[in-house]
Structure 1
Amino acid sequence: MQLSPIQVEVCTERNIQLRLLRLDQIHPAVSGNKWFKLSQYLQAVQAGKYRGILTFGGAYSNHLVATAAACHYHNIPCTGFVRGEEGASHPTESLRECLQWNMELQFLSRTEYRLKDDPIFLKQLQQRYPQHLVIPEGGYGQDGIEGAGIIHQYIPAGTDIIAVAVGSGTTLMGIINKLTAKQQAIGFAAIKQGDYLKDTIRQHCSNTNWQLETAYHFGGFGKYSPALIEYIRAFREQQGITLDFVYTAKMMMGLLDCIEKYQWQDKQIVAVHTGGLQGNRSIQHLLR
């Protein structure tokens, strides 16, 4: 897995080696952390325990696209339950890609979609789709966490700090569970009011060498500012790497700020590029 060196002044001044783990290069559709989060679920189906997969996501969901593509490659029937009924008549590019990968799409009202973790609702779904494995939104769950933990194998042993963007927290938790005693993980929440994730992480992780930064959401999930857009453009021009506005750009801006805020010196830092570049489709006109 490629580690791309990131050359920025603040790191040079502080003798910090910053590298980006290029999970975005794995596959155009099953990109970044998605393959890892799905891997354990897919193995369960391939082992014959289930006949298909059910999962959830919004109209711009990278998770739905990745699940659709992965199931296509493994010849696994899959159904995606989409938040919002408007997608049925006006499908986004992401939803059209899901259909191209032969995912069945079912559109739920926002009220129905809030039941996605409700045991009674899930039991009704499984009655409609017998022997189908339910993957929570974003690949969340113990299998997703264990799969995400594989990412740690691609991080050099001498790394001091591992940075990752956070949505559900699945990838961060997987990495935390694999940390050595001398390593630290730092997550950057892409959602507003993300402090509740700290309790979720504590429930799933016994290691305590981690922190979650919640001030770099730029207005909330899927939100952006002119400064964030300009940063994506500048990063692409200076480093030759494209970041997505939903997750990785927020992580990188937050990480560089934290280097100064916490006065880090003489560190080996690896930031994880978790892919998700499909998300940039909705703002492509701003990134030209």
Structure 2
Amino acid sequence: MLQLSNPYAPIEQVFLEQVAAKNISLFIKREDLSHPFISGNKWRKLKYHLLAAHAQKANLLVTYGGAYSNHLLATAAAGAKYGFKTHAFVRGQVETNMQLALCKAFGMNLQFVSREEYKQKDALFASYFGSNQLAYQVPEGGAGLHGELGVAESVKDWELSEELKTPTHVFTSVGTGSTMRGLLRGVLENKLATKVHGVVVLKGAEAMAAEFADFSADSFVLHHRFCGSGYAKWDEALLAFIQSFASSTGVLLDVVYEAKLMQGILTLIEEDYFAPGETVLAYHNGGLIGGLSAYQ
């Protein structure tokens, strides 16, 4: 049996004047502290994929991502840690950056493919690894049921915090939606009344609501107005917000996901979206290494 260590991801309260003025309690689930390279929701979403790969006696993890993908780095590091070789199909033209250099350092083989080829992931896997019984395909971002189950387990951590217990609202940033689905699954399994919120970082993704049709409509909210100019796009105002938040709390946020998440939460607090006395928990899902590109 593959032995996986439990991640260190404490819950910390955030003390800001604008939050206290509205009588709201704000907490952050520090998933970003779980591992230097397998950090945030990436560890959660890889856990059951690693167990499944081990169960089928695979020795190679094959996955997908962009050139700045935190998922690729997490898979490379996890593979090295738990005894798997790793291969990644990387979207787009060949390039070099710190993220990909770290992937190589952990032994990952990188294969760049065109954006058109990348859209046909199953065909890519079948073409290069279809006859390899020792290859295990990890969906982009660690998505799917295995990924959701790992995230759902984190809900049990809430009761370990004496100050938090059961939050009124829980927030996560949303790209593919698998982390939010995992939280919804965890809230449902633990029979909690917590409402799950997703701050969508993609522009024009309102149709994403259909991906949550199997959950009760009153159990979640998708917020689309905090995506800025779109995915992986930022401006000086967002960088200034990251600096202000870090200098006030000691918590660094990445530019792609978590800065937009926290900016959205603080905006909602300022707008009296929450009732006085309510508790808000935000998941910090890591992504800091990929986000360092904003400071180059």
2-side partners of 1:201 and 1:54: how far apart?
27
Q: SS at the partner of 2:186?
A: coil
Aligned to 1:276: 287
Is the aligned partner of 1:54 residue 2:67? no
Aligned-pair identity (%): 32
Summarize the alignment of residues 24-173 of structure 1 with structure 2, pairs less than 5 Å apart: 24-87=32-95, 91-116=96-121, 119-127=122-130, 129-156=132-159, 157-173=165-181
In the aligned structure 2, how far is the partner of 1:146 from the partner of 1:197?
Answer: 20
Give the TM-score normalised by the residue count of structure 1.
0.92
Query: CA deviation digits over 1:4-47, x for unaligned, max 9?
Result: 22122332122111011111111110001110000000001222
Aligned to 1:244: 254
Deviation at 1:181, TM superposition (A): 4.1
| 2:15 pairs with 1:7 | yes
TM-score (norm 2): 0.89
- Label 1:102 to 1:120 Cα distance change in 2 as closer, same or farther (>3 A): closer
Deviates more, 1:13-22 or 1:262-271: 262-271
Look up the match of 1:264: 275
RMSD value over aligned CA atoms? 1.7
Cα deviation, 1:187-230, whole Å, max 9, x if unaligned, reads 10111112122111224x45741111011111111101211100
Q: What's the counterpart of residue 243 of structure 2?
A: 233
Q: Take 1:193 and 1:45, find their aligned partners in 2: how far apart are those partners?
A: 35
Answer whether contact 1:29 1:65 (CA < 8 A) is retained: yes
Q: Distance in 2 between matches of 1:120 and 1:102?
A: 24
Range that drifts further, 257-266 or 76-85: 257-266
Q: Distance in 1 between matches of 2:251 and 2:123?
A: 44
The whole-number CA distance in structure 2 between the counterparts of 1:238 and 1:176 is: 31
Where do 5+ consecutive residues of structure 2 fail to align? 1-8, 160-164
Q: Give the Cα–Cα distance (whole angstroms) in 2 for the partners of residues 263 and 39 of structure 1.
A: 34
Give runs of ≥4 in structure 1 deviating > 4 Å: none
Contact 2:22 2:270 in 1 (8 A): no
Counterpart position of 1:212: 222
Question: 1:190–1:221: 8 Å Cα contact kept in structure 2?
Answer: yes
SS in structure 1 of the partner of residue 213 of structure 2: helix
